[in-house]
Amino acid sequence: MAEGSIVLGVPRETFPGETRVAMVPAVVPVLAKAGVQVVIERGAGEPSGYSDAAFESKGAAVVTRADVFARADLVAQVRAAGANPETGRDDARSLRRGQVVVAMADPLGDANAIREFAASGATLFALELVPRITRAQSMDVLSSMATIAGYKAVLLAAAELPRMFPMMMTAAGTITPARVFVVGAGVAGLQAIASSKRLGAVVHAYDVRPAVKEQIQSLGAKFVELPVEAADAEGKGGYAREMGEEFYRKQRELMARVVAESDVVITTAMIPGKKAPVLITADMLHAMAPGSVVVDLAAERGGNVDATRAGETIQVGGVTLIGPLNLPATMPYHASQMYARNMAAFVQNMIKDGTLALSTDDEIVRETLVTRDGDVVHAAIRERLGLAAATH
């Protein structure tokens, strides 16, 4: 396959426990049609189940890590900058001024890491900032990865729960179905609802945004109505907006009964760039039946449960509390496949006449552009760093 005019380099991920890769063999020919040649570090796809031979068979060049950074016009990664603040520093030293990096970078969570990255002179696009507009749906890595997290959360709960999810009619009598309560009906929550229903559970769900009631019901779950004022609960891009502490206090009081009646609780409530709201207290856990399971998908952001320990499974009374980190990396084959498709769509959007056109007239480019020419250029991140508004 002939080389394209744009070289996209894919290094092996270095963040501890990160098994995903930013490109998969099936997507290489798609990029080739757009004039993009893929070079990938030897062994980069192996943790995800993609061999070097599979990449080569689709036209990618398998090279050393140094060659990836030396040859690439655009470096595609799963984690960069704030999403890989320690081991990613070596990558930053390998970058050159004007080189483009596209990755998840945790820009709103670790603004200082973004400032440090900017010193490399490279241009950074943070995929977490892809605007939630129709044209950008195919680039939405947060939704792709949340789909996997929601699914895996149900499997974790089912494996820990000392009872089965479905109702069964057996010679030994009828087994009643498990009761699952999903808190937060974003992409992860909706996938958790759907997966719990597939396993045969009776599912209830709640979200601070009343507008999602219909989506919850369409998946066969019962929407939990809490008589608490939730005006303006939906922020930019359809995400839940941060509410006041008094709101969360009332919410916890009203939610306590539903939690106590549930065998499994899966919490998914996160606010972009903020600490996750505490929705479930230790007292609420103690009111649950022994053997119940809680999976806190917000563990990485502090947790929706006040007792959550990120990356650990603990016992609180008789309840198993799971605080998983990076669930997509536990299913890296499909997580990488989805991520690579998002990446390809994002890159293709920037290609004009065979070259990378980084025009901020395009909303997608403008909203995801974080660093350029040695400076932090994204307005929200500059504000977090206490910098004056950019003049360019």
Active-site annotation, residues: 132, 137, 140, 143, 239
DSSP secondary structure of 27-62:
GHHHHHHTTEEEEEETTTTGGGT--HHHHHHTTPEE
Q: How far apart are CA 83 and CA 106, in angstroms?
A: 5
Q: How far apart are CA 245 and CA 130, in angstroms?
A: 29
CB 36 within 8 A of CB 72: no
User: Which helix (H) or strand (E) is 85 found in, with range?
Assistant: none
Report the chain's C-alpha Rg in angstroms: 22
**Could you tell me which of 310, 344, 331, 297 has the C-alpha nearest to residue 19?**
331
Pairing of strands 74-79, 351-352: unpaired
Q: How far apart are CA 321 and CA 263, in angstroms?
A: 12
Torsion sign over Cα 100, 335, 152, 254:
positive
Q: How far apart are CA 102 and CA 346, in angstroms?
A: 9
From residue 222, alpha-carbon distances to 52, 194, 197, 219, 297 in Å are 47, 12, 11, 9, 21
